């Protein structure tokens, strides 16, 4: 039987020791409450951990991850996390962070049958269909893949802005701001897609609740 799981428990002991050396009251303080300013919607990919790649500490980012960082409106897990983040934690920023080389996006680009997973991938395939003209126009397959990753993030940010309780927050103030980012596995750099939004003006009319 592989004992490699013990590496995690040993690692935990080392981490606690190191953390206490640097900040003796770290756990005492953090155990009282959490007040993260950010909600991170990212990919489950093991190479894209929210706090590490942003050099942040535990307590700073509320996190939801799934295959290909999707915002699916029938996903009660995701919606509950977003609701809690927006209504109770009052996060100021929601970041959808995709990553180049995403296996989920790659799978959705192709025609391979992935069994049960196909149902999840369909949501990503829908994004391809929405941007078929642009994507089919990119001859280089790697460049097309990179662009598909970006467009998928753009659509997930749009999908977040269609959520009624987010629109409700915008009626009362400027938060939460929604952002779209893409992380590069090759150099560790995050690219801001500059699609930050906190209003419904760019949304199709049918998605705008209580429009005045
Ligand atoms: Co991925």
First to last CA, the chain: 64
**In the prediction, which pLDDT does 33 show?**
94
Q: Per-residue pLDDT for 127 more than 70?
A: yes
Q: Per-residue pLDDT for 180 more than 80?
A: yes
Region of 109 (left: φ > 0; alpha: ψ -120 to 50; beta: rest) is: alpha
What's the CA gap between 196 and 100, in Å, rounded? 20
Mean of the per-residue pLDDT values of the chain = 97
* Dist. CA 176 → ligand 1 center (Å): 24
Residue 198: closest CA among 98, 94, 50: 94
**In the prediction, which pLDDT does 202 show?**
87
* Dist. CA 104 → ligand 1 center (Å): 6
**In the prediction, which pLDDT does 210 show?**
79
Q: What is the pLDDT of residues 71-106, one digit of tens each?
A: 999 999 999 999 999 999 999 999 999 999 999 999
Q: Where are the domains of the chain?
A: 1-32, 36-207
CA dihedral defined by 126, 131, 137, 140, rounded to 10 degrees? -60
* Dist. CA 146 → ligand 1 center (Å): 12
pTM recorded for the entire structure: 0.96
Query: Taking residues 102-127, what's their average pLDDT?
Result: 98
* Dist. CA 106 → ligand 1 center (Å): 9
The domain 36-207 is placed in CATH, from the list 3.40.50.2300, 3.10.20.30, 3.50.50.60, 3.40.1050.10, at: 3.40.1050.10
Q: What is the distance, to the nearest Å, from the Cα of residue 94 to the centroid of all Cα atoms in its chain?
A: 8
Enumerate the β-bridge partners of residue 62. Answer: 39
- What b-and-e string marks burial along 121-148, b requiring 16 or more CB atoms within 10 Å of the CB? bebbeebbeebeeebeeeeeeeebbbbb
**In the prediction, which pLDDT does 212 show?**
61
**In the prediction, which pLDDT does 200 show?**
93
Longest dimension (CA), the chain: 64
Active-site positions? 43, 45, 47, 99, 102
Residue 174 exposure: Cα atoms within 13 Å on the Cβ side? 1
**In the prediction, which pLDDT does 41 show?**
98
Q: What is the pLDDT of residues 130-166, one digit of tens each?
A: 999 999 999 999 999 999 999 999 999 999 999 999 9
Q: Where are the beta strands (DSSP E) in the chain?
A: 38-43, 61-66, 93-99, 177-183, 190-192
Q: Per-residue pLDDT for 65 more than 80?
A: yes
* Dist. CA 110 → ligand 1 center (Å): 15
* Dist. CA 149 → ligand 1 center (Å): 9
Q: Are 61 and 51 in contact (CB under 8 A)?
A: yes
What's the CA gap between 188 and 151, in Å, rounded? 20
Query: Taking residues 26-50, what's their average pLDDT?
Result: 97
* Dist. CA 140 → ligand 1 center (Å): 20
Q: Are 87 and 105 in contact (CB under 8 A)?
A: no
* Dist. CA 210 → ligand 1 center (Å): 35
């Amino acid at each position: 039987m592989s004992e490699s799981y013990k590496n995690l428990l040993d690692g935990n002991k080392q981490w606690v020791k190191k953390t206490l050396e640097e900040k003796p009251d770290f756990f005492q303080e953090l155990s009282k409450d959490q007040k993260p300013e950010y909600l991170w919607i990212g990919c489950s990919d093991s190479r894209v951990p929210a706090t590490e790649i942003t050099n942040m500490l535990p307590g700073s980012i509320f996190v939801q991850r799934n295959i290909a960082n999707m915002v699916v409106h029938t996903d009660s897990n995701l919606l509950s996390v977003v609701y809690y983040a927006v209504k109770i934690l009052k996060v100021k920023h929601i970041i959808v962070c995709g990553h180049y080389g995403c296996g989920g996006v790659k799978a959705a680009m192709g025609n391979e049958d992935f069994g049960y997973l196909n149902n999840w991938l369909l949501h990503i395939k829908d994004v391809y269909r929405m941007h078929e003209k642009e994507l089919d126009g990119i001859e280089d397959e790697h460049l097309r893949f990179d662009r598909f990753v970006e467009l998928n993030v753009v659509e997930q940010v749009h999908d977040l802005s269609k959520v009624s309780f987010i629109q409700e927050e915008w009626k009362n103030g400027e938060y939460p701001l929604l952002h779209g980012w893409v992380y590069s596995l090759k150099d560790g750099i995050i690219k801001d897609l500059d699609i930050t939004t906190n209003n419904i003006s760019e949304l199709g009319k049918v998605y705008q609740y209580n429009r005045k």
